[in-house]
Amino acid sequence: MKKICFYFQIHQPFRLKRYRFFNIGKDHYYYDDYSNESILQQIADKSFLPANRMFLDLVNLYKGKFKIAFSISGVALDQLEIYAPEVIDGLMELSKTGNVEFLSETYAHSLSSLADPVEFEMQVKQHAEKIKLLFNQEPTVFRNTELIYSDKISEMVYKMGYRKMITEGAKHVLGWKSPNYVYLSETQPNVKLLLRNSDLTENITFRFSDYTWKEYPLTAEKFIDWIAATPPEEEVINLFMNYETFGNLQPSYTGIFEFMKALPRFAFKNNIEFATPSEILDNHKPIGSISVPEPISWSDEERDLSAWLGNTLQRSAFNTLYNISERVRLCDDRRLKQDWLYLQTSDHFYYMSTKHFSKEGGYNLFSPYPSPYDAFNNYMNVLSDFIGRVKAQYPDTVDNEELSSLLTIIRNQEKKIKKLEAELKSIREANVEKFVKKKEEVE
């Protein structure tokens, strides 16, 4: 029996405002509230809200047979809470049906898995807490930012306690193998992997409304026929996409909502079921392992990291950022911690990409900046201010190790003082009791 596994990604970065070098050291608010708000509300109206309604209807209509999963970054949740809380309400309702799974990822939609294992783990924990708080689920399947995956990452994820992971079915990794099975990590065989079927996914995400495509128009019937026509032993079809596909990347007038509404009907007709990632990973036996020495992602033709860390601009900004991470962890200023998360969002590095020069139109569509250089300059100005704030927390002359041990001593002393105080108090109370007794005796 074939199974379709849908998971939708929701993510929006906190875009930075134009931050001039004059602002460094004076202005510690970095975000472009106006554009963050207007972009998020626009997407919510066009995509998230109608899609939530549609999926709730489908889940209710098929009474537990239609299932989906979500992966929502912490920064997106933060933004939704501020600007479009009704989207979170919709997701809560979906969660209550019991047929919707929430996946684990890094809180900041960050690239921390590539640079800083400690930070990576902290963010994954923080994200799991947030999901628990909002949706009352404990995520068991891990999905890294932009489906970035490598053997090394699978080991880190295993150490954090996860046994199930999702990544890209990159052709240069799979070779002749099909993504429509469950696999294992080569170096950590306890981690099961679910791979995205990029061809089928992209038929929906990229080509659905492309009238130059020879399969245009794409109907639910045709799509299910393709899935039905895959070899019978290939049982898992993983369609992982951006939630904005519904209504934003593919506007509603293209018929994307109607396509999705019709899909389950044709699937059931062909004896195809739906399942969540954890169900598939629990119920299907892995057929082999895959080895990924170099990190892969779901982006661009190359399916590698070049969109975020392809040029020296990106790498230098990235290294500057993670050079400070140890120091940041020693601080406990809440605003500082929050900025630290928001500055790690991978989108900031994506805006600095120079891969798009050769393409028609020059620069990438999603960037709020006129050029990659503006993106870099602005980000570096913000980062300079941030680093200044971090350094201002503790004297610069003390190195991290020394500082860490000093902080431990201070914290331990605090504990000790409290303990002694408590002791003192109990002794005093005892003394008072004795005193009272004595007094009574005397009387």
Partner 1 sequence: MKVLMFGWEFPPHILGGLGTASYGLTKGLSMQPDMEITFVIPRAWGDEDQSFLKIIGANNTPIVWRDVPWETVKERLGKFMDPQEYYRLRDHIYADFSYIYTNDLGCIEFSGRYPSNILEEINNYSIVAGVIARAYDFDIIHAHDWVTYPAGLHAKSVSGKPLVIHVHATEFDRSRGKPNPMVYGIEKDGMDHCDKIICVSNLTRKIVIENYHQPEDKVVTVHNAVDPLNPEIEAIERLAGVPEKIVTFLGRITMQKGPEFFVEAATQVLRKTKHIRFVMAGSGDMLNDMIHMVADRGIADRFHFTGFLRGRQVYEMFKSSDVYVMPSVSEPFGISPLEAMQCGVPCIISYQSGCSEILNYVIKTDYWDVDAIADSIYSLCTYPGISEFLKEEGKKEVDNIKWEYAAQKVRDIYNRLVYK
Residues that are catalytic = 146
Identify the DSSP state of 204. H
Instruction: Provide the binding-site residues for partner 1, judged by CB under 8 A.
Output: 20-22, 24, 311-313, 315-317, 320, 354, 357, 362, 371, 373-374, 376-377, 380-381, 384
Smallest gap, in angstroms, from Cβ of residue 312 to partner 1? 4
Instruction: Name residue 278's amino acid.
Output: S
Q: 238 in helix, strand or coil?
A: strand
Specify the residue, 17 or 143, whose C-beta has the smaller distance to partner 1: 17
Specify the residue, 20 or 438, whose C-beta has the smaller distance to partner 1: 20
Smallest gap, in angstroms, from Cβ of residue 358 to partner 1? 9
Q: Which residues contact 313 (CB under 8 A, 6 or more apart)?
A: 352, 354, 372, 373, 376
Instruction: Name residue 210's amino acid.
Output: D
**Tokens encoding 412:** 């331990």
32 touches 16 (CB < 8 A): yes
Smallest gap, in angstroms, from Cβ of residue 319 to partner 1? 8
Partners of 165 in the β-ladder: 142, 193
Q: Which residues of 214-235 are buried (b: 16+ CB within 10 A; e: fewer)?
A: eeeebebeebbeebeebeeeeb
353 touches 308 (CB < 8 A): yes
Specify the residue, 340 or 376, whose C-beta has the smaller distance to partner 1: 376
Specify the residue, 26 or 334, whose C-beta has the smaller distance to partner 1: 26
Specify the residue, 236 or 307, whose C-beta has the smaller distance to partner 1: 307
Q: For residues 125 and 157, what is the distance between their CA atoms, to the nearest angstrom? A: 11
Specify the residue, 21 or 435, whose C-beta has the smaller distance to partner 1: 21
295 touches 83 (CB < 8 A): no
Smallest gap, in angstroms, from Cβ of residue 394 to partner 1? 24
Smallest gap, in angstroms, from Cβ of residue 20 to partner 1? 6
Q: Which of 219, 222, 180 is nearest to 199 (CA)?
A: 180
12 touches 48 (CB < 8 A): no
Specify the residue, 85 or 362, whose C-beta has the smaller distance to partner 1: 362
Specify the residue, 68 or 313, whose C-beta has the smaller distance to partner 1: 313
Smallest gap, in angstroms, from Cβ of residue 18 to partner 1? 9
Smallest gap, in angstroms, from Cβ of residue 30 to partner 1? 15
Q: For residues 14 and 35, what is the distance between their CA atoms, to the nearest angstrom? A: 9
Identify the DSSP state of 246. E
Burial of 268 (0-12, 13-18, 19+ CB in 10 A): middle
Q: 52 in helix, strand or coil?
A: helix
341 touches 123 (CB < 8 A): yes
**Tokens encoding 121:** 């783990």
Smallest gap, in angstroms, from Cβ of residue 88 to partner 1? 37
Q: How many CB atoms lie within 10 A of CB 315?
A: 14
DSSP string, 95-127: HHTT-EEE-B--TT-B-GGGT-HHHHHHHHHHH
**Tokens encoding 217:** 């128009």
